[in-house]
Amino acid sequence: DAGITQSPRHKVTETGTPVTLRCHQTENHRYMYWYRQDPGHGLRLIHYSYGVKDTDKGEVSDGYSVSRSKTEDFLLTLESATSSQTSVYFCAISGASRNEQFFGPGTRLTVL
Amino acid sequence: GENVEQHPSTLSVQEGDSAVIKCTYSDSASNYFPWYKQELGKRPQLIIDIRSNVGEKKDQRIAVTLNKTAKHFSLHITETQPEDSAVYFCAGNYGGSQGNLIFGKGTKLSVKP
């Protein structure tokens, strides 16, 4: 597996609380992505980054924000978690070609 | 908007049989088509990919074919084994080489011993 870690791996939180998920890579890859995976929906892109402090929205960005202050770290924040954000969140990275994406181990988030 | 359709959503085969999963895409600029395998509770793993300048690519028991005119591509697994049981996702890049991936909704493959 590519050098990608995610933390935490599991989290249970309550509606209305802020939550931050971290993705850390040791590959020095330029591109980083956050996806959510839900039954029947496959993988949907939330936000992505094409460099330090360079980010853009994906297909399902509402309710999420991201930050990338270092090449190796990409943070996903839920400012005020809702039950609809209960999901498995995957981080992915890709290098110069951008096409080949490699996924982290995932974070299972439950919002009660 | 652009999308990738994947069929079937579930597929059950006997060990040793072949399995075929098909995907269609809508963006004519797409030129990269990866396939991922995801075992239960694990991360998606890239197993094979194809670019639009070739029509077929093989890697041992798996192969992918691409028909650019019809905008569809397929994953073929021969001599299936129980360890091939997983969810398989196809994807295509939206907007060409610098585009993000759009994923199909997945196919759950079950290989019965």
Residue of B2, B43, B87 for testing the chain A interface, max A β-carbons within 10 Å: B43
Q: Edge-to-edge, what's the strand order for the sheet holding A64-70?
A: A4-7, A19-25, A73-78, A64-70
For β-strands B10-14 and B107-112, DSSP reports them as: parallel
Number of H helices, E strands in chain B: 0, 11
| Residue A84, pLDDT score | 97
| Residue A97, pLDDT score | 76
Is there a contact between A106 and B43 if contact means CB atoms under 8 Å apart? yes
| Residue B28, pLDDT score | 87
Q: Is the pLDDT reported for residue B89 higher than 80?
A: yes
**In chain A, which residue ranges form alpha helices assigned H by DSSP?**
none
Q: Is the pLDDT reported for residue B24 higher than 70?
A: yes
- Taking residue B54's Cβ as centre, other Cβ atoms within 10 Å add up to 10
Q: Identify residue B24 by its one-letter amino acid code.
A: T
Write the secondary structure of B66-101 as one string of H (helix), E (strand) and C (coil).
Answer: EECCCCEEEEEECCCCHHHCEEEEEEEECCCCCCCE
Angle at A99 between CA A42 and CA B63, to 5 degrees: 70
> Which of A44, A99, A103 lies at the smallest CB-CB distance from B43?
A103
Q: By percentage, how much of chain B surpasses pLDDT 70?
A: 99
Q: What is the mean pLDDT of residues A32-54?
A: 95
Query: What is the C-alpha separation between B68 and A111, in angstroms, rounded?
Result: 43
Q: What is the mean pLDDT of residues A39-54?
A: 93
Q: Which of B26, B42, B48 is nearest to B86 (CA)?
A: B42
| Residue A65, pLDDT score | 98
| Residue B98, pLDDT score | 74
Average pLDDT value over all residues in chain A: 95
Is there a contact between A90 and B44 if contact means CB atoms under 8 Å apart? yes
Q: What is the mean pLDDT of residues B54-66?
A: 95
- 34-53 in chain B: CB under 8 A from chain A: 34, 36, 42-46, 49
Question: B45: distance to nearest CA of chain A, Å?
Answer: 7
Give the torsion sign (CA, B96, B101, B102, B103).
Answer: positive
> Which of A90, A98, A102 lies at the smallest CB-CB distance from B46?
A102
Average pLDDT value over all residues in chain B: 94
Q: Is the pLDDT reported for residue A67 higher than 70?
A: yes
Place of tokens 């192969």: B63
More confident residue, B99 or B107: B107
